[in-house]
Amino acid sequence: MAHTLLPFVPSFPSHLLSSQFLISKPHLPQFPPTSSAVHRRFSRLAMSDQSTTATQFDIKEYMIEKAAMVNQALDSAIPAKAFPQSNRLNEAMRYSLMAGGKRVRPALCLAACKIAGGLEPWALPAALATEMIHTMSLIHDDLPCMDNDDLRRGKLTCHKAFDEPTAVLAGDALLALAFETASNLSSYPVNVLPDRIARAVGELARCIGAEGLAAGQLVDLESTGLSEPVPLDKLEYIHLHKTAALLEAAVVTGAIIGGGSDEQIDRLRGYARSIGLLFQVVDDILDLTKSSEELGKTAGKDLASDKTTYPKLIGLDKSREFAEELLGQAKEQLNGFDPESAAPLVHLANYIAYRQK
């Protein structure tokens, strides 16, 4: 049955804003849901689905375990030598995909599958797809025609390590591989029905198209170097599309595959939009307060390119307060879920809020 989702609007607390910053609520993106054993390659990587209470939960250990699980599967997805005539493309894909990273999006996807009633390994194909899409977005974002960056994850960006045409094609190929991976029916257990897989794939597609990442990137480019600061509603539009949309897709696809109800998926969507905007607010703060060595990417880039950021628009202290407000909103969406199943998402929200890089 068709389900219409009301737009989630992060609540920007009025006490954080002086009168010059008061705005009407922006029109925010909507990403409504569409109406044999696990494949060997993934089942070998499946980890035991042990329940952990929130008080006992170790987010560091959890992230290490999930990253190892995801990295092994990603490594298998792109063999080191696959196509003799175009192995440079393969090398560029692997260079960026296996360059490290916290694997936050796959972890969110797996955790959302669990909280919705499934087992984490069920969502592994979709989790891998989110990381492939994320890596594609980084490759393209770093290009000279976009954000023009030379450093990513402590290494030269793809177009610097190879060249611009190869980088563009590596991103394109990763995007194609993401959908090939997420839509492979044989990679899912039989109790994940094909209509749920199709719905999850549609969610992934929507998050990167004209209603998601691509739209956010374009508005971001158009808003750089203007004589006047970008207003707060437009800044939120950019980041809810460019950054939050893929985090939202990671959570929602996991919940869909896990068998979540429409009500559960709506609440998890609200959680994801809060942490998505939170992720960007924290990014803006770190860009201003950390060095390139600490971040593993070029620090101070937003200031140098005259981009509007949350600290530039409302100040560093109010940006930190806004981050705390968003963290509270995200956790509120998890009320009513089983605390043990919710523990990973609670601590992932904290991880995003208090990360140092």
pLDDT in tens, 75-92: 999 877 666 677 899 999
Residues 309 and 104: their CA atoms lie apart, in Å, by 22
Which phi and psi angles does 156 have, rounded to 5°?
-60, 140
Most confident of 7-16, 125-134, 226-235: 125-134
Residues 115 and 263: their CA atoms lie apart, in Å, by 13
Q: For 56-354, CATH number?
A: 1.10.600.10
- The candidate with the shortest Cα–Cα distance to 277, out of 308, 243, 233, 250, is 243
3-state secondary structure of 336: coil
Residues 239 and 215: their CA atoms lie apart, in Å, by 10
Contacts of 346 (CB under 8 A, 6+ apart): 54, 57, 331, 334
Q: Residue 95's pLDDT is what?
A: 94
Q: Residue 319's pLDDT is what?
A: 94
Q: Residue 147's pLDDT is what?
A: 84
3-state secondary structure of 151: strand
- The candidate with the shortest Cα–Cα distance to 182, out of 252, 241, 276, is 252
- Taking residue 293's Cβ as centre, other Cβ atoms within 10 Å add up to 10
Residues 24 and 158: their CA atoms lie apart, in Å, by 40
Would you state the structure tokens that stand for residue 284, as one six-digit string? 């803006």
Percent of the chain whose pLDDT exceeds 90: 65
Does the predicted TM-score (pTM) go above 0.85?
no
The model's confidence at residue 150, banded by pLDDT at 50, 70 and 90, is confident
Q: Of 57-66, 144-153, 193-202, where does mean pLDDT reach its minimum?
A: 144-153
- Taking residue 55's Cβ as centre, other Cβ atoms within 10 Å add up to 7
The model's confidence at residue 160, banded by pLDDT at 50, 70 and 90, is very high
**Contact 308/222 with Cβ under 8 angstroms?**
no
Would you state the structure tokens that stand for residue 218, as one six-digit string? 């374009």
Q: Residue 28's pLDDT is what?
A: 35
Q: Residue 113's pLDDT is what?
A: 98
CA triplet 249, 254, 259: central angle to 5 degrees?
A: 130
Q: Residue 55's pLDDT is what?
A: 56
**Mean residue pLDDT across the chain:** 83
3-state secondary structure of 290: coil
Is it the case that residue 298 has pLDDT exceeding 90?
A: no
Name the maximum alpha-carbon separation found in the chain. 62
